[in-house]
């Protein structure tokens, strides 16, 4: 999700952006719950798939909003996603092979 | 006075966040609260853009309800981390007294076991005690987390580990002291023997 956002011109993303992206993609009516979303982001950061930085509070105050925590996908995160994609391709290929047989 | 339903949902979320972060370290608490605050602000702005305030209010409330199990499990995970940090702090506090205790034990032990004259005793104590105590202390202080094969100290009761290191140090010191004292005794008896032989007419 973060990599897709990155590809679409958002170098970093914050929690709400991710929640909205998930909702739009799944065609869901509700955004991902706060607890679920931020727990997942925290775990991904802990395992090194994401990194985060807090925005300068002065800059945020100048814009009249709370400061954002921006996330970025790490190279390890990109690698992990590529691996998942490969595995998904392999298993769908195997399933197609079985169906053809 | 108009109270927007959106604001009630936001108020509820904030109260809930305050409740489940209560008692956590200040930094963890602030990080969580700020992050949720930012999310709520973004969602309100998004809803203002689409003009669907009531929908947003229900959405925020739904996110609160559906996230409760994860909020609670996040809290439990965080509590575990706090306990782990406390145990590392305890270990750090125990290192110094355990080193001194260790030193005293060795001094007393050697005083009882090896009454061999002041100079030799001092040399033996210094040679046996200083290097391992110094190395052990530096080793533990230098590394925040130490891995011994599959065992990482931060997952191991740290205080127990410090006591274990203390015990190992005592054994090493007693062994080294034994070797040094035996060598000194041999050296001294050879010198005395040589002197006796030299004095024999």
The sign of the torsion formed by the CA atoms of B52, B53, B54, B56 equals positive
Res A101 pLDDT > 80:
no
CA B62 distance to own-chain centroid: 40
Mean per-residue pLDDT of chain B: 72
Q: Each residue of A48-77: pLDDT tens digit?
A: 999 999 999 898 899 899 999 999 999 998
Q: Domains of chain A: which residue ranges?
A: 2-74
Please list the residues that pair with A54 across neighbouring strands.
Answer: A69
Chain A residues with CB inside 8 Å of B34's CB? 54, 66-67, 69
Q: What share of chain B is helix, strand, coil (3-state, %, to 5)?
A: 85, 0, 10
A38 touches chain B (CB under 8 A): yes
Six token digits for residue B160: 């127990």
- Best of B70, B72, B84 to disrupt the A interface (most A CBs within 10 Å) is B70
Q: How far is the alpha carbon of B71 from chain A, nearest alpha carbon, in Å?
A: 5
pLDDT at A37: 93
Query: pTM for the full model?
Result: 0.58
Q: Which fold has domain A2-74?
A: Arc Repressor Mutant, subunit A (1.10.10)
Of A42-51, B10-19, B23-32, B150-159, the poorest mean pLDDT is in B150-159
pLDDT at B48: 83
B154 touches chain A (CB under 8 A): no
Residues B10-14 have a mean pLDDT of 93
Q: Each residue of B30-76: pLDDT tens digit?
A: 999 999 999 999 998 888 887 776 788 888 999 999 999 999 999 98
Q: Each residue of B164-189: pLDDT tens digit?
A: 666 666 667 667 777 777 777 777 77
Chain B residues with CB inside 8 Å of A39's CB? 70-71, 73-74
CA atoms of B166 and B132, how far apart (whole Å):
10
Q: Which of B73, B84, B158 is nearest to A40 (CA)?
A: B73
pLDDT at B159: 47
Q: Each residue of B78-129: pLDDT tens digit?
A: 887 777 777 666 666 666 666 666 666 666 666 655 555 555 566 666 665 6
Which ipTM did the prediction report? 0.80
Contact (CB, 8 A) for A40 and A68: no
């Amino acid at each position: 999700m973060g990599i897709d956002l990155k590809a679409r011109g958002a170098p970093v993303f914050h929690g709400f952006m991710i929640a909205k992206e998930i909702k739009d993609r799944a065609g869901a009516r509700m955004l991902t719950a706060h607890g679920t979303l931020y727990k997942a982001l925290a775990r991904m950061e802990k395992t090194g798939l994401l990194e985060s930085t807090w925005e300068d509070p002065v800059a945020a105050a100048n814009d009249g909003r709370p400061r954002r925590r921006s996330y970025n996908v790490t190279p390890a995160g990109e690698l992990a996603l590529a691996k998942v994609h490969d595995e998904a391709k392999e298993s769908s290929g195997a399933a197609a092979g079985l169906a053809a047989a | 006075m108009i109270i927007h339903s959106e604001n009630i949902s936001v108020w509820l979320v904030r109260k809930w966040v305050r409740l489940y972060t209560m008692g956590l370290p200040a930094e963890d608490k602030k990080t969580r609260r700020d992050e949720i605050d930012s999310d709520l602000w973004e969602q309100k702005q998004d809803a203002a853009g689409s003009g669907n305030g009531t929908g947003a209010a229900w959405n925020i409330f739904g996110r609160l309800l559906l996230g409760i199990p994860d909020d609670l499990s996040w809290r439990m995970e965080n509590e575990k981390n706090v306990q782990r940090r406390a145990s590392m702090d305890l270990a750090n506090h125990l290192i110094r007294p355990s080193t001194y205790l260790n030193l005293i034990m060795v001094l007393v032990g050697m005083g009882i076991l090896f009454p061999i004259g002041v100079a030799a005793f001092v040399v033996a104590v210094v040679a046996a005690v200083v290097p391992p105590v110094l190395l052990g202390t530096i080793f533990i202080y230098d590394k925040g987390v130490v891995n011994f094969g599959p065992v990482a100290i931060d997952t191991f009761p740290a205080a127990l580990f410090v006591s274990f290191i203390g015990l190992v140090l005592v054994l090493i010191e007693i062994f080294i002291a034994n070797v040094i004292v035996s060598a000194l005794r041999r050296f001294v008896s050879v010198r005395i023997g040589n002197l006796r032989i030299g004095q024999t007419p």
